[in-house]
Amino acid sequence: MDDIKSIVAKNITELRILNNMTQLELAEKLHYSDKTISKWERGESTPDISVLVMIADIFGVSLDYLVKSENIDKAVIEQKNSESAYNHRAITYISEGLVMFIAIFAFIITSLVSKTADFKWLYFIYATPITIIIRLIFNSIWFNPRNNYIIVSLLMWSVLASIHISFLFFNKNVALIYLLGIAGQVIIILWSFIKKPKKKETEEN
């Protein structure tokens, strides 16, 4: 029987590669360092049972699948990953579309109730930052968190634009509010350079 460390190392490596995931990305999901992931994949150490359960959940396999010396069915896993990615994108787009649906519905109702309600077009303006918030949430859960810096930037500028346009409706120009955006953008850029501390370097053998 193959050594359990070698079996787990082989299975983790193959699953990670099949899921197009780097050691760093897997490490971030598990809150470990990429050096620890590298040790696991070299068979120098083995994750404890609770971490193995987390790994199995991330890759959508059973715990037995990780510790048994069996060939991984790449076609099945790739199909599962493709279906999962498709579902994640579909849920994201449906959620974003729902925001626009609500904005259109509110626009129609307001138009029917009041012919003089000129503010009704603001519904579409406010729908923009809400849609970006939804994208930020799903991107953090399912997609690449590194893109959050871009999404947060878009969210900030859309909120500032919404405030500016809202004040223009009352004949007040608050264009100076974009100075906050410049300061905020600098903060976001600096934030993107912050490195996460390495965690849990030492593991049980």
Co-location of 89 and 58 in the same domain = no
Could you tell me if residue 112 is inside a domain?
A: yes
Q: What are the φ and ψ backbone dihedral angles of 199, each rounded to 5 degrees?
A: -125, 145
Co-location of 66 and 79 in the same domain = no
Return the structure tokens found at 132. Answer: 């970006």
CB burial of 112-131 (b: ≥16 within 10 Å; e: otherwise) equals eeeeeeeebebbebbbbbbb
Co-location of 15 and 69 in the same domain = yes
pLDDT for position 118: 78
Could you tell me if residue 122 is inside a domain?
A: yes
CATH code assigned at 59:
1.10.260.40
Return the structure tokens found at 118. Answer: 């000129």
Co-location of 81 and 168 in the same domain = yes
Return the structure tokens found at 75. Answer: 């076609």
Cβ pair 9, 42 in contact under 8 A: yes
Co-location of 23 and 11 in the same domain = yes
Digit-coded pLDDT (tens) for 145-170: 888 999 999 999 999 999 999 998 88
- Among 57-71, 128-142, 146-160, which stretch is predicted with the lowest mean pLDDT? 57-71
User: Which residues, 6 or more positions from 35, have their beta carbon under 8 angstroms from its beta carbon?
Assistant: 198, 201
Co-location of 161 and 128 in the same domain = yes
Mean predicted confidence (pLDDT) in 25-33:
89
Q: How far apart are CA 131 and CA 99, in angstroms?
A: 6
Burial (CB < 10 A; 0-12, 13-18, 19+), residue 172, is exposed
pLDDT for position 202: 42
Could you tell me if residue 153 is inside a domain?
A: yes
Cβ pair 196, 28 in contact under 8 A: yes
Amino acid identity for residue 14 in this structure = E
Digit-coded pLDDT (tens) for 78-94: 666 677 778 889 999 99
Binning pLDDT at 50, 70 and 90, where does residue 68 land?
A: confident
Q: How far apart are CA 98 and CA 1, in angstroms?
A: 54
CB burial of 74-96 (b: ≥16 within 10 Å; e: otherwise) equals eeebeebbeeeeeeeeeebeeeb
Per the listing, tokens 């223009």 go with 168
Q: Which domain holds residue 137?
A: 75-173
Could you tell me if residue 203 is inside a domain?
A: no
Digit-coded pLDDT (tens) for 75-133: 556 666 677 778 889 999 999 999 999 999 999 999 888 877 778 889 999 999 999 99
Could you tell me if residue 186 is inside a domain?
A: no
Mean predicted confidence (pLDDT) in 63-76:
69
Query: pTM score > 0.75 for this model?
Result: no
pLDDT beyond 80 at 43: yes
pLDDT for position 196: 62
Count of domains for the chain: 2
